[in-house]
Amino acid sequence: MTEYQLNVAHLYGNLMNTYGDYGNIIALTYYAKQIGVAVDYQLVSLGDEFDDQAFDFVLFGGGQDYEETIVAEDLPAKATAIKHYIENDGPLLAVCGGFQLLGHYMVMADGTRVDGIGVMDHYTTNMYDDQLTVLSGKRLTGNIVIENNDTGEKYHGFENHQGRTFLGEGERALGTVISGNGNNGMDKTEGVIYRNVYGSYFHGPIFTRNGNLAKRVLATALQRKYPDVDWQARLDPVPTESF
C-alpha cells in the first residue's frame, strides 16, 4: 500500500479539456509516482458537488465558448466551496477558460458577457476594456516564453485565446512575457498567481512542457497535506521530463 496519496479533482474535465489540458494531471501523476505518491483522480462536472475538504489539487481546464457558457451556469453552485478551497491555500491550476471563469466576468468573441464566480479579482474582455478603449489585434496565438518573477524559471508554451485578461487586487502574474502575447497583449503579464492558485493561457499542456513548474506545484500540494516531509528535497533529484 502506498504511504502517501493525493486526491485530485478535475473540474468539468468532460467539457473543459481544450488541447488536452488533462495532460497536466498525467504529468503531475508521473512526478508523484517517482517519489512513491499515489494519485486518485475524480471528475467533478455538471450537477456534482465540489467538496473543498476532499481534494489536494484541482485542475480547471479550458473550453470553447459554448462549453464555457454551459459551465458558467453550473459553476455558481460550487462557488462557495471553490472560494473556501482557494482561501485555504488549496493548490489549483486554471487554464484559459477555467482561468477566466474564476474571475468576475468574461466577454465572448460575439460580445456576450458571461459572469464568472468572482473568487479571484481578474476580469476578461474582448474588443474593448472597461473604459471602452479599443484593444489591438484579434486572437492572441502562437508560441510564448515567460519568466517567473519569483523564481527566475522560464516557462514555454502555446497560447490561443480571444479574451484579454487583466489582473486585479492581490494577484500577480505567473510570469513576464519574453516573447508572445500573454494575458492581454498589452502589459507583458501572463497567467496569475494568487495564494496557491496558478492560472495560465498555456495549452499543450503547461505541466508537460514545464516540469519545473509541475514539480513546484506538486511539492506545494504534498507539503500542505503532509507538512512533516521535505517534498521539494525529494523532488529535486527527479529529472524533468518532456512529454
pLDDT at position 173 is 98
Per-residue pLDDT of the chain (243 residues; tens, 9 = 90+): 578 999 999 999 999 988 889 999 999 999 999 999 999 999 999 999 999 999 999 999 998 888 999 999 999 999 999 999 999 999 999 999 999 999 999 988 777 899 999 999 999 988 655 555 556 567 889 999 999 999 999 999 999 998 899 999 999 999 999 999 999 998 999 999 999 999 999 998 999 999 999 999 999 999 999 999 999 999 999 999 877
The answer to whether 175 and 144 are in contact (CB under 8 A) is no
pTM over 0.85: yes
User: Is 203 among the catalytic positions?
Assistant: yes
Give the model's pLDDT for residue 124: 94
The separation between CA 151 and the C-alpha centre of its own chain, rounded to angstroms, equals: 18
Is 224 among the annotated ligand-binding positions?
Answer: no
Pick from 145, 151, 165: which is nearest to 98 by CA?
165
Residue pointed to by grid coordinates 493548490: 91
Catalytic residue, candidates 10, 84, 96, 122: 96
Q: What is the pLDDT of residue 134?
A: 55
Residue 241, pLDDT score: 81
pLDDT at 138: 73
CB 207 within 8 A of CB 23: yes
96 is catalytic: yes
d(CA 5, CA 2): 7
pLDDT for 130 equals 59
What is the per-residue DSSP string for 14-79? TT--TT-TTHHHHHHHHHHHHTTEEEEEEEE-TT----TTS-SEEEE----HHHHHHHHHHGGGGH
Q: What is the pLDDT of residue 128?
A: 59
pLDDT given at position 79? 98
Q: At what angle are helices 23-34 and 211-225 packed, to 10 degrees?
A: 70
The confidence score (pLDDT) of residue 207 equals 97
How high is the pLDDT of residue 222? 98
